[in-house]
Amino acid sequence: MIPTQPPTISTGSIQPADDVRTMFDSIAGRYDLLNHVLSAGIDHLWWRRTAMAVRDTLIRPEAHVLDLCCGTGDMTLALLKHRPSTSSTAPIVAVDFSHNMLSLGNVKFIGKNVLPLEADALHLPLPPSSMDLISSAFGFRNLSSYEAGLAELFRVLRPGGQIAILDCNQPDGVVGALYNLYFKQILPRIGALVSDASAYTYLPESVARFPRPPRMLELIHNAGFVDAQWTSYTFGVAGLYLATKP
C-alpha cells in the first residue's frame, strides 16, 4: 500500500506554495541550528511530548505512521524511538515537499526504519485509509489551505486513526506581548545574521495567520474528526492538536 521507493511528486502547487518551498530549500542547511538556538532547545521537549502522546499507536508493529512536513526529520526520529525493533514493524513514512530539507533528513534516516517521500501535503501519493497515525510538527501552518490539508489527512487516515499536529501558537496577555516582541523584533535579526532574513520574517507572519486553538479545533471538527483537543506547551507558545477519524 506504501511505495517502496521515495518518488518525487509534481503537484502543480499554486505559486505561494512554490515560494514557501523555495524558502525552505534555501535555509535547509542552517534550519536545525536556528530552531534549536531560537527555541533554547525546548523544541526537543515538544517533539518528545508529542511522541509520548501517541505512543499507544507507535508501539504497535503493524501500525502505519506518517510524519507530514517532516523537514529534516527530528519529529520523525522522536516517533521512531517508540517503534518496536522487529523485522515486521512498518516503516515511518516521512513526507516533505522541500527537496533540500528532506535530503538532510535522509542522512539522519540512514540505517533506520524510515521511508522518505518527497510530496505535497495536499496531494499525498497514498491510498485512502492507509495510515493509523499522522503527525506534523511545525509544518501544518505552512499549508496554503488548512481545510484542504485536514481533508487530505482524513482521506489517508484509517477509521480509528489519529492525527497529532504540533505547531506554534500566539498566546495572550503578558506572555503574548513578550512573544510578539521576540518573534517580530529579535528573531528576524538573529535569522539575518546566520541565515535568510526573509525566512525569519515569514515565521512570525505564518504564526499570526494560523488559527487560534478554538478556531483550529472547529476546523478539525468540520473536517470530520472527533474527540479533538488541544494541549498547551510552554505557556501556550506551542501546542498539540489530537483528533480521531471515526
Distance of CA 76 to the CA centre of its chain: 9
Distance CA 125, CA 112 (A): 22
CATH code of the domain made up of 15-169+216-244: 3.40.50.150
pLDDT tens digits, 181-193? 877 777 777 766 7
Report domain extents, the chain: 15-169+216-244
In a 10 Å sphere around its CB, with 0-12 CB exposed, 13-18 middle and 19+ buried, how is residue 96 labelled? buried
Residue 32 pLDDT level (bands cut at 50, 70, 90):
confident
239 near 230, Cβ under 8 Å?
yes
Extract the runs of DSSP E, i.e. beta strands, from the chain: 65-68, 92-96, 114-118, 131-137, 157-168, 226-233, 238-244
State whether residue 243 is helix, strand or coil: strand
pLDDT tens digits, 212-246? 999 999 999 999 999 999 999 999 999 999 999 99
Cell 523485522 belongs to: 87
Element (H, E) at 84: none
C-alpha cell at 182: 521576540
The CA-CA-CA angle for residues 209, 180, 26, to 5°, reads 65
> Residue 197 has what pLDDT?
62
Distance CA 210, CA 202 (A): 12
C-alpha cell at 7: 518518488
pLDDT tens digits, 33-89? 777 766 777 999 999 999 999 999 999 999 999 999 999 999 999 999 999 999 999
For residue 122, what are the contacts with CB-CB under 8 A and spacing of at least 6? 11, 13, 143, 144, 145, 148, 149, 152
Q: To the nearest whole percent, how much of the chain has pLDDT over 90? A: 67
68 near 93, Cβ under 8 Å?
no
Read off the pTM: 0.88
> Residue 8 has what pLDDT?
34
Residue 7 pLDDT level (bands cut at 50, 70, 90):
very low
For residue 79, what are the contacts with CB-CB under 8 A and spacing of at least 6? 51, 54, 58, 65, 67, 92, 135
pLDDT tens digits, 141-164? 999 999 999 999 999 999 999 999
Distance CA 60, CA 22 (A): 37
